[in-house]
Amino acid sequence: MHLTVLGCYAATPRTLTNPTSQVLEINNHIILIDCGEGTQVELRRHKIKFSRINHIFISHLHGDHFFGLPGFISTMRLLGREKELHVYGPKGIKEAITLLLKLGDSWTNYPLLFHELSSKESELVFEDEKISVTTIPLDHRIYTNGYLFREKVGKRKLNIEAAEKYGIDKAYYQNIKNGKDVTLDNGEIIGNNELTFDPPKPKSYAFCSDTIYDESLAAKIKDVDVLYHESTFLESEVELATKTKHATALQAAKVAKDANVKTLVLGHYSTRYKSIELFKEEASKIFPNVLLANDGKTFDF
Ligand SMILES: [Zn+2]
Ligand SMILES: [Zn+2]
């Protein structure tokens, strides 16, 4: 699992900081999560091919999370995209985007498919043989979802050394990979477990964009490997955080601790603070494994 943070600062684009957008590479999928202004430029800077993105997940319709989307959709048309593009986001996103395309008489010549969300309960919104994506309802000033991305268990890996030891013909290798046992010429049955290695443990990533501190969130993301949780403010501004339905670094750490996640990634920083290290210091008081997102930073999990 590989994460590229394209932008992770609150509110407005600035000279050196971008609003929220990130690219998650998970089990051969390249997924765009939120699409603030500047997303296209950052994708180019990181040499991520636009054409490899087939799924975009938007948390909510505040500008710092989706004002880059019309531009991105429009550029895909100019680049001659033919493949489907799937956009997941709150109800209203289709109307917002299609109005712009209509006024500019610039309809896409590729299938643009919207999956509008309005449920306040967690729901499965995408699934194939490699991953699943479920929503994480959040409590913000407008309808907002985080997303939980989970890898599926891969196939067992062939243990060639073991197969050779039993003199098994290569023609059976595919059957072994598919989970079959092998019967040798002398009638002895070799169990599949002896001929294969366990597949790697599937990983999971929870993206929780703008939200007030919510104690009940931990239960929805229990034991995930990586939690990205907003931390717009520090505890010194906790009242402002509550008023604007945002969270502090300490509150993000509480969620991480209660959910028993392995790693917490902080982001969506207010630019009022001198250094983002302050967020790590605060969160680390109660949760040990804290990483700081920053624009252009990449993580391997
Ligand atoms: Zn925001
Ligand atoms: Zn917001």
Residue 200 alpha carbon to ligand 2 centre in Å: 36
Mean pLDDT computed over every residue of the chain: 96
Q: Which pLDDT belongs to residue 13? A: 86
Residue 37 alpha carbon to ligand 1 centre in Å: 12
- Token pair 């290695």 in the structure block, residue: 197
213-248 confidence digits (pLDDT tens): 999 999 999 999 999 999 999 999 999 999 999 999
- Each domain of the chain, given as residue ranges in start order, spans 2-154+200-300, 157-197
Tell me the residue type at 20. T
Q: How far is CA 290 from CA 57, 282, 286, in A?
A: 24, 10, 10
Residues with CB under 5 A from ligand 2 (ion): 62, 210
CB 259 within 8 A of CB 225: no
113-134 confidence digits (pLDDT tens): 999 999 999 999 999 999 999 9
Q: Which pLDDT belongs to residue 55? A: 98
Residue 106 alpha carbon to ligand 1 centre in Å: 28
Quick one: average pLDDT of 270-288?
97
194-215 confidence digits (pLDDT tens): 999 998 899 999 999 999 999 9
Residues with CB under 5 A from ligand 1 (ion): 64, 210
What is d(CA 178, CA 173) in angstroms, rounded to the nearest whole number?
A: 9
8-65 confidence digits (pLDDT tens): 999 888 888 999 999 999 999 999 999 999 999 999 999 999 999 999 999 999 999 9
- Alpha helices for 47-188 (secondary structure H): 63-66, 69-78, 93-103, 160-165, 173-177
Q: What percent of the chain has pLDDT over 90?
A: 95
Residue numbering of the annotated binding site: 60, 62, 64-65, 140, 210, 268
- Catalytic residue numbers, as ranges: 64
Q: Per-residue confidence at 154, pLDDT binned at 50, 70, 90?
A: confident
Quick one: average pLDDT of 143-160?
94
* 262-288 as b/e: b if 16+ CB within 10 A: ebbbbbbbbeeeeebeebbebbeeebe
Residue 258 alpha carbon to ligand 2 centre in Å: 24
Whether 250 shows a pLDDT value over 90: the answer reads yes
Q: Per-residue confidence at 155, pLDDT binned at 50, 70, 90?
A: confident
Q: Per-residue confidence at 156, pLDDT binned at 50, 70, 90?
A: confident
Q: Which among 36, 43, 46, 45 has a CA at the least distance from the CA of 9?
A: 36
CATH 3.60.15.10 is right for the domain spanning 2-154+200-300 = yes
